[in-house]
Structure 1
Amino acid sequence: MAELTSVLNGHRLAAPQRALPSVLIATRHGESTANVEFQLAAETGALTVPITSRDADIPLSLHGQRQAHHLGRWWASLPAADRPRAVWCSPYLRTTETARIALAQACGLGAVPVGLPVRYDERLRDRELGILEMLTAAAIEKEHPAEAARRRKMGELYYRPPGGESFLDVALRMRSFLRDLCEEEDGRAVLVVSHDCPVLMLRYILDRLTEPQLLELHAVRNCSTSLWRSLDGRLRPEHWNSVSHLD
């Protein structure tokens, strides 16, 4: 954004620069046990998944733990100025495990100081699905056909399941989160550990996407990295949904 100026007594006065982190990196948690079960259900058309815990308590799978280790090594490989010195994290178990493992790996490689704090923020939690929570696609079609039809008609951006959130509801809390993050982490590199929908909404907000542009995006991959860099008063995208570090 061009520098804003005002004129006072014939002099041009530069407005204060907007507070921004130097680098913002967003990642989705590593593969969870629910990711495994719902993928299997999608492939088989199953009506149920063997998950009894609440969504907030779902842990990483063993593969997800390995992905978090790779994320930590990628963190350590960044140029010194780009290595996050602050971590903001969803309070759900699968995200806290991802942050803990990645941070321990980065610390072990000497990339960040031991004891770097992790800040947990409820606005980074996963999208709430209300009556559709923990239901497979086949179960939604069978048990809530009217909701399935309404979802198709309205589109994911606007559809809000009873008791749950639409994408735009998540966007509202992410806008609030970004305001606080920018003010508190001005000039620092930051890592955000969250879920697929909140990370999508970060892209939607920061890159000023339209609905069609948003819906064209692929799902956010587990332990992928998306990076924005402060430039000309805005956070501008450098890469999106990259998993090259997981190879």
Structure 2
Amino acid sequence: MKIVLVRHGESEANVAHVINDDPTRAVNLTERGRAQAEEAAGRLRDVPFTHAYASEFLRAQQTAEILLRHHDCPLQIDARLNERRTGLDGQPVHVFNDLVRPDPLHIRPEGGETFLEQMERLRGFLDEVAARHPDGVILAVSHENPIVAALALTVADPGQVVRRNITNCEAVELDWPLVDASRQGGSCPRVVRGSSQQSTK
């Protein structure tokens, strides 16, 4: 299976520099975010997607709907693509960053999940979708933290990528299942279609 993971476009929470990890709280794309998604749709227009997934968050679904305008495949919602649970919904982003900085792989905020737990959530998604669609070309619209977690599954040491930034509407392509990461020399998947428009987390 080939999968293209895309981060959503700029959202209202990005502009406000606040955390939104509660999918029941509606946070929309900004006009700039919609423009980013339109640009990404053009870049991905010729990719022969067979199936598409998005997280439960409105901003991811809005991005996916724009990306799929050139593709005839229904959008499926999967909670395993959701943003990392931090227990800090509505608080400034720097509160979370400061909290996990001493040990970004293992610290679990109260009511949240560790980075390693998030990795296993993404592994479950990738394994199930690959088993269901072994020859598929998959679009998955998600969030910065889950995409970094997926990248971490491809290297021997997740610490190599845990602090990596994923810009709005950046796309990362990987093949799944992988050869064992320890035999890859820690190489990362290709960032095949990055966004030129960036936003703070």
Normalised to the residue count of structure 2, the TM-score between the two structures is 0.82
Partner of 1:227, secondary structure, is: strand
Q: 1:67-82 counterparts in 2 under 5 A?
A: 67-76=36-45, 78=46, 82=47
Compute the RMSD of aligned alpha carbons.
3.1
8 Å Cα contact 1:90-1:96 kept in structure 2: yes
Identity across matched positions, percent: 26
Out of 193-202 and 207-216, give the one that drifted further: 207-216
Aligned twin of 1:98: 63
Q: Distance in 2 between matches of 1:85 and 1:241?
A: 18
Shift in Å at residue 31 of structure 1? 0.6
CA distance, structure 2, for counterparts of residue 174 and residue 123 of structure 1: 6
Give me the whole-angstrom Cα distance separating, in 2, the residues matched to 1:121 and 1:29: 15
The structure having more radius of gyration, on CA atoms, is 1
Amino acid in structure 1 at the alignment position of 2:100: R
Residues 10-49 of structure 1: per-residue CA shift (max 9 Å, x gap): xxxxxxxxxxx1x2111110110110111xxxxxxxxxx6
Q: 1: CA distance between counterparts of 2:20 and 2:152? A: 33
Deviation at 1:152, TM superposition (A): 3.5
Equivalent in the alignment of 1:60: 29
SS in 1 for 2:135: coil
Structure with more helix by fraction = 1
User: What is the aligned partner in structure 1 of residue 48 from structure 2?
Assistant: 83
CA offset digits 1:65-113 (Å, max 9, x no partner): 011111111111x3xxx42111011011000000011112x2xxxxx33
- Whether the aligned pair in 1 keeps the contact of 2:152 and 2:162 (CA below 8 Å) is no
Secondary structure in 2 aligned to 1:133?
A: coil
Q: Residue 223 of structure 1 corresponds to which residue in structure 2?
A: 169
Amino acid in the other structure paired with 1:213:
Q
2:111 aligned to 163, 182, 207, which one?
163
Among residues 125, 128, 153, which one is paired with 1:180 in the alignment? 128
- Corresponding pairs, count: 192
Gaps of 5+ in 1: 1-20, 39-48, 107-111, 142-146
For structure 2, the 5+ residue unaligned runs are 182-186
Matches within 5 A, 1:1-247: 21=1, 23-38=2-17, 56-76=25-45, 78=46, 82-104=47-69, 106=70, 112-113=71-72, 116-130=73-87, 132-136=88-92, 140=95, 148=98, 151-153=100-102, 155-205=103-153, 207-215=154-162, 217=164, 219-229=165-175, 239-240=190-191, 242-243=193-194
